[in-house]
A and B are shown apart, each in its own frame.
Chain A
């Protein structure tokens, strides 16, 4: 059985605990990197990560792009939508096609 986790600032992810997700209130990039690495070795299939925290992690997230699990999925936090999630889709399109044709 695989687990699902939500990581980010406390306010953004608190609600997820009520529907049975594991929540990891993390705001420090270094701690986030450590938690991500731990989760990639354990049985976590999906990690929801707030966009604001993801912005601090830089290229660390690219490590998980080519692996089947965990799927690191960006979600908007309470501070608002930064559009990082949509940009990550554009990145996939660019990688596959050569330029973003869905604009």
Chain B
């Protein structure tokens, strides 16, 4: 029994009953929120995992090409080739609301001197492996941004689910039992007071009758 420290009065009882109704409604709502968040989260996290495996494979390929390019080109030549990028990538960040969790959505904006131009160098002094590396990275980029978006969403959802779960548990296992026990305690106290006043009145009546009529 977890009885709160309150005065057993009728006013407290009414207040507590109102609080109990609110707590029950809040509990139901939060439970629904948690379930829906969890459903979305599990969907997303599966996608996240698949996408990550794909992206990591792509990066591995790009890195392999890069290693080859590095082995046939001098460090300076490579630096010079990649010094001035042919395009600049920027992001538009939109906000999306998933069950009142604000998650970002990324839209890439590519600024290129020439459309579709990804090579920032002439082909004369560079290895073709560098071309492959740059092409592989540029191919994987949309997936990489998608991964960033989904992974961030998963992280934000996970922390929101954790918070919601704690609230649901606190309501279910602490607040609601406490209110119920306290309400029961006050009800019993009030009933007891009523019975005691009834018996006292009966006793007083007996005493008065005896005084007036000498009843035994």
In the complex where A4-B91, A46-B145 touch, is A65 in contact with B159 (Cβ < 8 A)? yes
A65, closest chain B residue (CB): B155
Contact A89 B45 (CB under 8 A): yes
A14, closest chain B residue (CB): B82
- Minimum CB–CB distance from B106 to chain A (whole Å) comes to 6
A51, closest chain B residue (CB): B56
Q: Quick check: is B66 within 8 A (CB to CB) of the other chain?
A: yes
Contact B106 A68 (CB under 8 A): no
- Minimum CB–CB distance from B12 to chain A (whole Å) comes to 37
B145, closest chain A residue (CB): A46
In the complex where A18-B118, A20-B89 touch, is A45 in contact with B66 (Cβ < 8 A)? no
Return the contact of A1 from the options B46, B56, B109, B137 (Cβ within 8 A). Answer: B109
Chain B residues near A92 (CB-CB < 8 A): 45, 154-155, 157-158
Binary CB contact string for chain B from 110 to 145 against chain A (1 if under 8 A, 0 otherwise): 111000001110000000000001100110010011
A4-B89, A68-B102, A76-B63 are known contacts; what are 13 more A-B pairs with Cβ within 8 Å?
A: A1-B90, A1-B91, A3-B91, A4-B91, A18-B120, A20-B86, A20-B112, A71-B104, A75-B55, A75-B56, A77-B63, A85-B52, A93-B158
Chain A residues near B159 (CB-CB < 8 A): 65-66, 95
- Minimum CB–CB distance from A23 to chain B (whole Å) comes to 9
Judged by DSSP, the binding face of B is helix
Chain A residues near B134 (CB-CB < 8 A): 15, 18-19
28 contacts between A and B (CB under 8 A): A2-B90, A3-B90, A11-B70, A15-B66, A15-B82, A18-B137, A19-B87, A19-B118, A19-B134, A45-B91, A45-B106, A46-B91, A65-B155, A66-B159, A68-B156, A69-B104, A71-B148, A71-B152, A73-B148, A73-B152, A75-B56, A75-B59, A78-B63, A78-B67, A92-B157, A93-B158, A95-B161, A96-B157
Contact A11 B66 (CB under 8 A): yes
Q: Quick check: is B171 within 8 A (CB to CB) of the other chain?
A: no
